[in-house]
Chains A and B, each alone.
Chain A
Amino acid sequence: MNSYELMVIFTPVLSTEEYNAAIKNLKKFITDNEGEIVGENVWGLKSFAYPIDKKTTGLYYVLEYSAPATFNAKLLVQMSRDESIMRQMINALDKHAVAYNNRKRNGGSAAKQHSVTEKEEA
């Protein structure tokens, strides 16, 4: 069971219900295929740094999960079929990344915008 992080950009055309439905459907797909969800981060509507197929904003969603290695291929096929998803990225997380995400999720002093020992240097 490796840990992965999925970031998805939905088209801004989706209303909030469709957005939540799409998120629920993603999560269900993961839990159905014996993956388990570690944490999620709903960014919502955010503007892009450059236009993607003529759109300048998108609905971002970040999901951290752990799943067997064979699972991601199925997830990619599922997502590419879904036309409400503009862009997606799956990253494998090493132990430092997992520790970082846990720290961030458990409010490891949210003021520190980076990792635990980041002191704002001169």
Chain B
Amino acid sequence: MAKTDIKYLTTNRVEVRQKKYCRFKKMGIKYIDYKDPEFLKKFLNEQGKLLPRRITGNSMKFQRKVAQAVKKARQMAILPFVTDLLK
């Protein structure tokens, strides 16, 4: 039985991934405040590093604003440069 001959009873529905969207465009947020660590933590991983755009789903313009805000927060010791178990 060749591999391709396997028949499934039900159609094998590949789990449809929910379309990513840029939360800033959708919610109309225009300014990302570097003084608000809780909000910025959504864009950091456990080690405090910035998440890439393909994970956060941000548009290029707002990913850059998030990166700038995180770097300012790190400079003013609001966010750590590197840590473990940030969340």
Contact = CB atoms under 8 A, between A and B. Distances in A.
Interface stretch (A30-38, A65-73, A89-97): A89-97
Contact of B29 (A52, A91, A117): A117
Which of under 10, 10 to 19, 20 to 34, or 35 or more describes the interface residues of A? Answer: 20 to 34
B77 interface: yes
Interface of A: 7, 9, 48-50, 52, 58, 60, 62, 87, 89, 91, 94, 96-97, 99-100, 113-119, 121
Which of under 10, 10 to 19, 20 to 34, or 35 or more describes the interface residues of B? Answer: 20 to 34
Interface of B: 23, 27-31, 33-36, 38-39, 72, 74-81, 83
A97 B31 contact: yes
B83 A49 contact: yes
A89 B75 contact: yes
Contacts of B35: 7, 62
A117 B28 contact: yes
Contact of B27 (A52, A91, A118): A118
14 contacts: A52-B77, A87-B76, A89-B72, A89-B75, A91-B34, A91-B72, A94-B31, A97-B31, A100-B30, A114-B29, A114-B33, A114-B36, A117-B27, A119-B27
